[in-house]
Chains A and B, each alone.
Chain A
Amino acid sequence: MKSITATRSFSLFNTLVYLVLGLLLLIVLLPCLYVLFSSFSTKSEMLSRGFYLIPKVWTLNSYGYLFSNHNFTASYWNALQITVGGTALSISATTLMAYGLSRTWLRGRKPLNFMVLFTMLFSGGIIPTYLLTSQLGLLNSYWSLFLNNAILPFNLIVMRSFFQNTPKELEEAARIDGCGEWNLFFRIILPLSMTSVATFIMFYAVFYWNSYFQAILFISDSQKMPLQVFLRQIILESGNSLESVTDGYEFGPPVKMAVVVMASIPMLVMYPFFQKYFDKGMLVGSVKG
Chain B
Amino acid sequence: MAVTGSKAADIKTRQRKWEEWKRGLPIYFMILPGLLFFIVFKYVPMGGILIAFQNYDPFDGFLQSSWVGFDHFQRLFQDPDFWKIFRNTLMISALNLFLFFPVPIIVSLLLNEVRLKWFKKGAQTLLYVPHFLSWVVIVSMTVLLFSAQDGGINNLLSTMGYERIELMTNPEYFRMVYLFQVIWKEAGWSAIIFLAALASVDPTLYEAATMDGASRLRQIWHINLPALRSTIIILFILRLGHVMDTGFEHILLLQNSLNIDVSEVFDTYVYRVGILQAEFSYTTAVGLFKALIGLGLVYLANRASRKIGEEGVY
Contact = CB atoms under 8 A, between A and B. Distances in A.
Touching chains A and B, CB distance < 8 Å: yes
Interface of A: 2, 6, 9-10, 13-14, 17-18, 20-21, 24-25, 27-29, 31-32, 34-35, 50-51, 93-94, 96-97, 99-101, 103-107, 110, 112-125, 127-129, 131-132, 147-148, 150-151, 154, 156-158, 161-162, 164-166, 180-182, 185, 195-196, 198-199, 202-203, 206, 210, 231-232, 235-236, 256-257, 260, 263-264, 267-268, 271-272, 275, 277-285, 288
A107 B127 contact: no
B114 A18 contact: yes
Contacts of A27: 184
Closest 7 CB pairs of A and B: A97-B34, A124-B48, A128-B48, A124-B45, A128-B45, A181-B26, A281-B203
Contacts of B167: none
A147 to B, nearest CB: 6
B27 A103 contact: yes
26 contacts: A10-B215, A17-B114, A21-B114, A24-B123, A24-B127, A31-B138, A31-B141, A35-B141, A50-B150, A97-B35, A99-B30, A105-B23, A116-B314, A117-B313, A118-B295, A125-B45, A129-B41, A132-B40, A158-B193, A164-B311, A195-B196, A195-B199, A202-B192, A260-B133, A268-B132, A285-B203
Given A117-B314, A164-B230, A25 B35 contact: no
A115 B235 contact: no
A235 B204 contact: no
Given A96-B30, A161-B231, A264-B133, A24 B201 contact: no
Interface in B121-141: 121, 123-134, 136-138, 141
Contacts of B311: 104, 161, 164
A180 B42 CA distance: 32
Nearest to A27: B184
Contacts of A151: 34, 37-38
B252 to A, nearest CB: 11
B38 A119 contact: yes
B20 interface: yes
A107 B114 contact: no
Contacts of A236: 136
Interface stretch (B2-10, B70-78, B93-101, B104-112): B104-112
Residue with the highest number of chain A CB atoms closer than 10 Å, among B27, B58, B123, B201: B27
B37 A271 contact: no
Dominant secondary structure at the A interface: helix
Contacts of A34: 141
A271 B114 CA distance: 18
A20 B114 CA distance: 11
B48 A107 contact: no
Contacts of A103: 24, 27
B209 to A, nearest CB: 13
A57 B49 CA distance: 55
Contacts of B202: 281, 284-285, 288
Nearest to B216: A13
B47 interface: yes
Residue with the highest number of chain B CB atoms closer than 10 Å, among A28, A275, A283: A28
B43 A32 contact: no
Nearest to A17: B113
Nearest to A197: B196
Interface in B145-168: 145, 150-152, 155
Contacts of A104: 311
A267 B127 CA distance: 13
Contacts of B187: 24
A7 B61 CA distance: 73
Nearest to B109: A17
Contacts of A9: 215
A271 B125 contact: yes
Given A21-B110, A110-B314, A281-B202, A115 B38 contact: yes
Contacts of B155: 50
B51 interface: yes
B141 A106 contact: no
B287 interface: yes
Contact of A28 (B20, B126, B141): B126
Interface residues of B, number: 98
B88 to A, nearest CB: 21
A99 B26 CA distance: 12
Contacts of B217: 13
A93 B235 CA distance: 21
Contacts of A96: 30-31, 33-34
Nearest to B43: A119
B115 to A, nearest CB: 8
Nearest to B58: A127
A139 B310 CA distance: 43
B198 interface: yes
A50 B140 CA distance: 11
Given A127-B48, A206-B131, A235-B136, A281 B298 contact: no
Nearest to B121: A275
B28 interface: yes
Contacts of A101: 31
B12 interface: no
Contact of B201 (A13, A157, A280): A280
Contact of B20 (A29, A35, A105, A256): A105
A107 B20 contact: yes
Contacts of B150: 50
Nearest to B280: A127
B290 to A, nearest CB: 9
